[in-house]
Amino acid sequence: WSHKPKFDYRMAVHSGGKVPLGIKRKGLRIVVTGGAGFVGSHLVDRLIARGDSVIVVDNFFTGRKENVMHHFGNPRFELIRHDVVEPLLLEVDQIYHLACPASPVHYKFNPVKTIKTNVVGTLNMLGLAKRVGARFLLTSTSEVYGDPLQHPQKETYWGNVNPIGVRSCYDEGKRTAETLTMDYHRGAGVEVRIARIFNTYGPRMCLDDGRVVSNFVAQALRKEPLTVYGDGKQTRSFQYVSDLVEGLMRLMEGEHVGPFNLGNPGEFTMLELAKVVQETIDPDAKIEYKPNTEDDPHKRKPDILRAKELLGWEPKVSLRKGLPLMVSDFRQRIFGDRKEASS
Ligand code: NAD
Ligand code: UDP
Ligand code: UDP
- Tens digit of pLDDT for each residue in 133-176? 999 999 999 999 999 999 999 999 999 999 999 999 999 999 99
Per-residue model confidence (pLDDT) at position 293: 87
Q: Give the Å distance between the CA of 44 and the centre of ligand 2.
A: 25
**DSSP label at residue 177:** H
Q: How far apart are CA 66 and CA 56, in angstroms?
A: 13
**pLDDT score for 25:** 57
pLDDT computed for residue 208 by the predictor:
86
Pocket residue to mutate for ligand 2, from 90, 131, 186, most atoms within 8 A of Cβ = 131
Protein residue closest via CA to atom 4 of ligand 2: 128
Q: Coil, helix or strand for 139?
A: strand
Distance 142 CA to ligand 2 centre (A): 28
Ligand 3 centroid to residue 198 C-alpha, Å: 12
3 state SS of 53: strand
pLDDT at residue 337, rounded to an integer:
62
CA–CA gap between residue 87 and residue 276 (Å, rounded): 44
Residue-level pLDDT at 26:
72
E strand or H helix that includes residue 135? strand 135-141
Q: What's the rounded Cα separation, in Å, for the pair 216 and 229?
A: 11
Give catalytic residues, as residue numbers: 170
- Listed as ranges, residues in the chain with pLDDT below 50 are 1-23, 341-343
pLDDT at 9: 43
pLDDT score at 257: 98
Mean pLDDT of the chain: 92
